[in-house]
Structure 1
Amino acid sequence: MPSSPFRLPKGSAFALVLVTLTPAAVPAVAQVAAPPATSTSAPGKEFGTMWTFDAPPLDYWKRTYNFNADQAWLDHVRLAAVRIPGCSASFVSSRGLVMTNHHCARACISSASPKDTNYQRTGFVSQSLADERKCSAMYADQLQSFEDVTARIRSKIKGTTSGAQVEQRTKAIAEVTDECVKATGLRCEVVTLYQGGAYSLYRYKRYLDVRLVMAPEEDISFYGGDPDNFTYPRYDLDMTFLRVYENDAPFQPKDYFKWSEKGAEEGELVFVVGNPGSTGRLNTISQMDFLRDVQYPATLSGFDRQIGILKELSARNEDAKRQFENQIFSIENARKATIGYRSGLVDSAITARKRAFESDFRKRVMADAALRSKYGGAWDATAAAQRQLASINKQVRYYGFAGSQLLNLAGGIVRLPSQGALPDSLRLPQYRGQQGTAIRNQILNEVAFDKEVEKLLLASQLTAARKELPANDPFLRIVLAGRSPEVAAEALIEGTKLTDVQARRALVEGGAAAVAASTDPLIVLARKIDPLGRPFAMRAARLADVSSANAEKIGQALFGAYGQALPPDATFTLRISDGLVKGYPYNGTLAPYKTSLFGLFARGAEFNQQPPFRIPDRWMQRQARLDMTTPLNFVSTNDIIGGNSGSPVINRNAEVVGLIFDGNIESLPNRFIFTDEIARSVSVHSRGIVEALRKVYESPRIADELVGR
């Protein structure tokens, strides 16, 4: 399912302090002016349809669908949409009711569950406003306005090196952001579009009081489990309803999506309004090759290790299962998505289209003397940087403090004084600007540690390092010292005092002298790792700056040539994608545009009601009440990716016809090049939502609110 770009829950044993050696890919700003927009015809749909509200493709919509969207329609749609942590959502009633996916609200559902009940498994239906439960760490951001600040950002970039450009760009963005916050009181974000071809200032209003209204059981919200994830036909009720409150009363939005009881119909024009996380459609071939051959294989290996450990831990008892179930869900989802992303990079037909576009565009640039002077070397410089990054990738990944949260803390404690003494531009990327302060605060946070978990994590990381690095590698000599990974992890974790926040505070406040004098085994180890890994980290950071600076040149060239005829790569900011409700050919037959309740119960019977195809008891007991012809899920050609989960699907009248929750497996390569021959977005049908609310969950209160009764 297209959930957020992979991140682990806050406070997780896997949510490590950001002091590892992997460099932050901070885009450098090329000090060149973009060429003026030309009449060059835009390429095909390879760049997708994730349009910004800054530049909606009004002529394209009119030409393609005979649809005329005026500014009032666009403003209404923008203000009815909201962004929640990692996902998308929308207002769907005049009383602040918010619709999103169950898998987007898992943290909220868990936090609202009492100790003796797990709403993930039982589901939850509030009977009144008073029964709605507050969610911890949940908020909703509504995009109020936006402004082009490209000229202002670029005017501040005067450096001649990538490092100086990064520093000046970061400072310029901070100035614009701070000024916006002071002037408006809103949350402000400068968004980089077209890899730096343009910059836009987005202003959000944040709602902090968000409460759980209704969530179905996980057995129906994620029906079919991991085997059915990223597939179609599907039979999921992946929905949750929240409510925004202000001053302890339901918020009354002026803009919200009304409900279409008819729902999506075959061949209908529909729009997905949400916040796609990230795409790589402007990536060069060399960047895609690096992902295919280096980064994705390493990422998948890490996922496999983490899933193995988490499943081992969750098997301890019921409390452990509840503690780790959200993390397992997140990582398994991210793993399957990454496999799909990589499949597009090994598909010669897909990559051939990307190579053809890049080759043609480079020829156009090289044929013009002015463009050649500004941008002609960008592709080769990027390719050289990618090759060098690949050559040091193992050292970058292993010569650091990954694996254990306690080791990460030790690394941060060791590096804080030494990095803080350097000029900002000479620091590791993680310590530039205010990031060093953020790391210090993380180190001094009160955190509960499970030493057995820490041992498993560290031993797993060291086992992987021993497998990939040569036997005489200096990192292995330092860390293992002839011991097995398990024995080394046992000694390091049992011997450390860093579980005590006061011990960490004494080291941080004592500075370099306290760090140098410490005999704590993890601090001793971090002191040895730091000089070994830092040169590789700095080299990787410089190469990342080179790649980013040249990627920005390419982005400026593309933006100059095609302007806003091409949508920019996804940035987890609000987009609108057009598409048609449409089935597709698969497995030698046809996938229907919709599935129905008939199919759900048939699938349960065909799998003998065995997990993950077991239909919940509540549904089985109420089967006779249901109109079995009711559509449950449907597919469309809209352009989505992680972050779009929870996006409303609306028709021309801005009425909800569905709720995005997934894409089929064929859609995953769209991360790099968009196609819609068989790639599809998968949604919950609006009719299925109301049918379930009324007849399975016996909640006319919520159903009536949705349909405006």
Structure 2
Amino acid sequence: GQPAKIDNFLKFNPQGPKDGELTFVSGSPGKTDRQLSLDELVDTRDRYLPYVLRMFNRREVLELSYSARSFENARKARDDLFGDQNNRKRYDGYLAGLLDPQTWSALTAREQKLRDAIARDPKLRSTTAAYDRIKNAQAEIAKNAPLYNYLEQERPITIGYRGPRALSGNLFKYARLLIRAVDERAKPNGERIPEFRDSARESLELELFSTEPNYDDYEILRLTDSLTDFASQFAANDPLVQKVLAGKSPHARAVELVAGTKLKDVAVRKDIYGKDAAALQAFHDPMIDLARLVDGPARDARKRYDAQEEIKKQAYSEIAKAHFAIEGASSYPDATFTLRLSYGTVRGYEQDGKQIPPFTDFAGLYQRSAEHDNKSPFDLPQRWIDKKANLNLATHFNFVSDADIIGGNSGSPVVNKANEFVGIIFDGNIQSLVLDCIFTDKQARAVSVDSAAIIEALRKVYGASGLADELESAK
């Protein structure tokens, strides 16, 4: 075939950006929470993030230990380990930002400025009460958090439904989804839990009828650990803990549940999904029975959580309206996966008394790999090792800028003032994780692949000079 002829495109700049150059980022940033009140941020800093980090650290240690036993174990745990390590780094960076005195001072000043402006305007003065409602609602959420996290849905809610903290693993997840799907289906669509409404049916069934393999040893490992954590947090003599463990140790109970359930079979899950409430009530399976046991208290915890979240939602809406009335269009709203244009300068930053340059190069790539004896995760593909002599090792590989980005910006093009493509966003540094709640350009940086690196790799590593020529010659 022939290359597509497109009238509107970004001209490719093979030199990449220069230090101090202004750049623009077009993309769809996912979600920010820059309107959060100080009261909610205090709870996030002092309770929520420490809990989240303890959870991810615990899981990471478990998965690393399991992976170290064999290559097969490492394969089974790979995706979970990658996700948990990524989330642990993410929330560690967020907490570090909230613990930074300068960041906290900026957050305090931001809220005080808005509250002072609200208090001065007779038409807006009643909005002050919204802050109190948020404070009270957040206190109730904190009080309810152990039951909500351990029985209903662990937070943060990552991609897909992971289930409650006390009962980890795919098999319990299937049991929870099945009993709720049958129960919720009997209700009018508008009264159902959102994930069981007609609009969510396709994604629910994809989750339930996944052909992803379930490994008994890995399921037992995860369930044993989560049951142990549950008993540790609630106390071994807690009535619900005792009912869940059914007179057994966490490991023995996990073995019993995993060995006894029939939910590993997709056909069985489809059969259960098709039952009505009466037929399901007569059906017994150890994992289904366990899901029934905890469903009442789990639903109660969810109702309390949802009620307080609704109070906060309404209060934040009032504050947002007041904010807009005061500042108009001079400040932009939180990210919501809609298209945004951000801008920033290519520049380094200072860390631990050292100046971090804005660019990395090919030489640094090979040096970093050699420092780790080319072992995972710093191992290079054989092709890259073989082609090293062909490369100009001084070519820029990645660069950083102080553009305002967040999760969801990965893949966003970076362009210069001439509307030329000079890079592509793929990450942010650890200091950028605080951008969820406040923008700062002190150390937070967006990380991009340099267009110069793309051309160098296409020509000298991948043997794709034709594609490189096409990129460079497009006008």
Counterpart selection for 1:671 from 436, 455, 459: 436
1:648 corresponds in structure 2 to: 413
| 1:697 to 1:352, Cα distance in 2 relative to 1, 3 A | same
> What does 1:22-37 align with in structure 2 at a 5 Å threshold?
none
What residue is the counterpart of 1:38 in the other structure?
none
Cα shift at 1:680: 1.7
Q: Does 1:379 align with 2:125?
A: no
Candidates 621, 624, 627, aligned match of 2:389: 624
Map residues 384-399 of structure 1 onto 2, 5 A cutoff. 384-399=136-151
The DSSP-based 3-state class of the residue aligned with 2:321 is helix
Task: Report whether the alignment pairs 1:572 with 2:337.
Answer: yes
Residue 477 of structure 1 pairs with residue 229 of structure 2: no
Change over 3 Å in CA distance of 1:289–1:433 after alignment to 2? farther
Where do 1:146-545 residues align within 5 Å?
A: 252-312=5-65, 314-315=67-68, 318=71, 321-322=74-75, 324-373=77-126, 375-400=127-152, 402=164, 403-422=168-187, 427-431=192-196, 434-435=199-200, 439=204, 442-444=207-209, 446=211, 448-545=213-310
CA contact (8 A) 1:515 1:523 kept: no
Give the C-alpha shift of residue 620 in structure 1. Answer: 4.0
In structure 2, relative to structure 1, the CA distance for the partners of 1:596 and 1:289 (3 Å cut) is same
Secondary structure of 1:662's counterpart equals strand
Q: Distance in 1 between matches of 2:454 and 2:274?
A: 55
Cα distance in 1 for partners of 2:245, 2:95 equals 33
Counterpart of 1:663, as a letter, is G
Specify every segment of 5 or more residues in structure 1 that has no aligned partner in the other structure, as ranges.
1-128, 130-248
Distance 1:668 1:596 in 2: 24
The answer (yes or no) to whether the contact 2:182–2:275 under 8 Å persists in 1 is no
State the one-letter code of the partner of 1:483. Answer: K
How far, CA to CA, are the matches of 1:604 and 1:368 in structure 2? 60
Deviation at 1:616, TM superposition (A): 4.7
Aligned Cα root-mean-square deviation (Å): 2.7
Task: Give the AA of the match of 2:93.
Answer: G
In 1: Cα distance, 2:76 partner to 2:8 partner: 38
CA contact (8 A) 2:117 2:326 kept: no
Q: Secondary structure at the match of 1:483?
A: coil
Cα displacement (A) at 1:455: 1.7
Counterparts in 2 of 1:669 and 1:606: CA distance versus 1, 3 Å: same
Q: Tell me the CA shift for residue 380 of structure 1.
A: 0.8
Q: Could you tell me which amino acid in structure 1 is paired with residue 34 of structure 2?
A: R
Give the secondary-structure state (helix, strand or coil) at the position aligned to 2:276: helix
Deviation at 1:624, TM superposition (A): 3.2
SS of match in other structure, 1:399: helix
Shift of 1:423: 5.5
Q: Tell me how far apart the structure 1 counterparts of residues 31 and 443 of structure 2 sit (CA, whole Å).
A: 21
One-letter amino acid of the structure 2 residue matched with residue 386 of structure 1: Q
Secondary structure of the corresponding residue to residue 689 of structure 1: helix
Instruction: Rate the CA distance shift 1:627–1:554 in 2: closer, same or farther, 3 A.
Output: same
Displacement after TM superposition at 1:343 (Å): 1.2
Write out aligned runs for 1:101-120 (5 A): none
Residues 629-670 of structure 1 deviation map (CA, whole Å, 9 limit, x = unaligned): 222222211111222222221101221112222222222222
CA distance in 1, matches of 2:47, 2:66: 29
* Alpha-carbon spacing, 1:252–1:458, altered in 2? closer, same or farther (3 Å): farther
User: CA 1:514–1:607 in 2, change beyond 3 Å: closer, same or farther?
Assistant: closer
SS at the partner of 1:377? Answer: helix
Q: Which amino acid aligns with 2:426?
A: F
Instruction: Report the residue type matching 1:267 in the other structure.
Output: G
* Matches for 1:17-166 after TM superposition, within 5 Å: none
Alpha-carbon deviation of 1:315? 4.7
Deviates more, 1:600-609 or 1:645-654: 600-609
Distance change in 2, residues 1:490/1:620 (3 Å): closer
Is contact 2:29-2:405 (8 Å) kept? yes
Displacement of 1:538 in angstroms is 0.8
Q: Which amino acid aligns with 1:358?
A: E
Partner of 2:324: 559
Distance in 2, matches of 1:597 and 1:546, equals 52
Relative distance call for 1:586 and 1:442 in structure 2 (3 A) is closer
| 1:627 shift after superposition | 2.3
Name the aligned partner's letter for residue 268 of structure 1: E
1:512-548 per-residue CA deviation (whole Å, 9 max, x = no partner) reads: 2122222211222222211222211111111111111
Secondary structure of 1:256's match? coil
Is this contact kept in 1: 2:429–2:444, CA < 8 A? Answer: yes
Residues matched between the structures, number: 461
> How far 1:340 moved relative to its partner?
0.3
Q: Distance in 2 between matches of 1:618 and 1:436?
A: 44
Q: TM-score, normalised by structure 1?
A: 0.60
In 2, the alpha carbon distance for the partners of 1:622 and 1:448 equals 38
Deviations 1:83-106 (A, max 9, x none): xxxxxxxxxxxxxxxxxxxxxxxx
Going by fraction, where is strand more abundant, 1 or 2?
1
Quote how far apart the aligned CAs of 1:324 are.
Answer: 4.5
Tell me how far apart the structure 2 counterparts of residues 476 and 610 of structure 1 sit (CA, whole Å): 43
Give the match's secondary structure for 1:562: helix
Q: Deviations over 1:430-458 (max 9, x none)?
A: 44564467546643555543222222222
Q: Which structure shows the bigger proportion of residues in helix conformation?
A: 2
Match of 2:156 in 1: none
341-350 or 435-444, which deviates more: 435-444
Cα distance per residue 1:163-208 (max 9 Å; x no partner): xxxxxxxxxxxxxxxxxxxxxxxxxxxxxxxxxxxxxxxxxxxxxx
CA, structure 1 residues 269+405, in 2 after alignment: closer, same or farther (shift >3 Å)?
same
Mapping for residues 697-708 of structure 1, pairs under 5 Å: 697-708=462-473
Cα pair 1:463 1:485 within 8 Å, conserved? yes
Partner residue, 1:550: 315
Whether contact under 8 Å (1:416, 1:440) holds in the other structure is: no
**What amino acid maps onto 1:299 in structure 2?**
V
Secondary structure, counterpart of 1:510 in structure 2 = coil
Q: 1:534 to 1:266 in 2, by over 3 A?
A: same
Structure 2 length as normaliser, TM-score?
0.88
Give the Cα–Cα distance (whole angstroms) in 2 for the partners of residues 508 and 597 of structure 1. Answer: 54
Q: 1:411, 1:589 → 2: CA distance?
A: 51
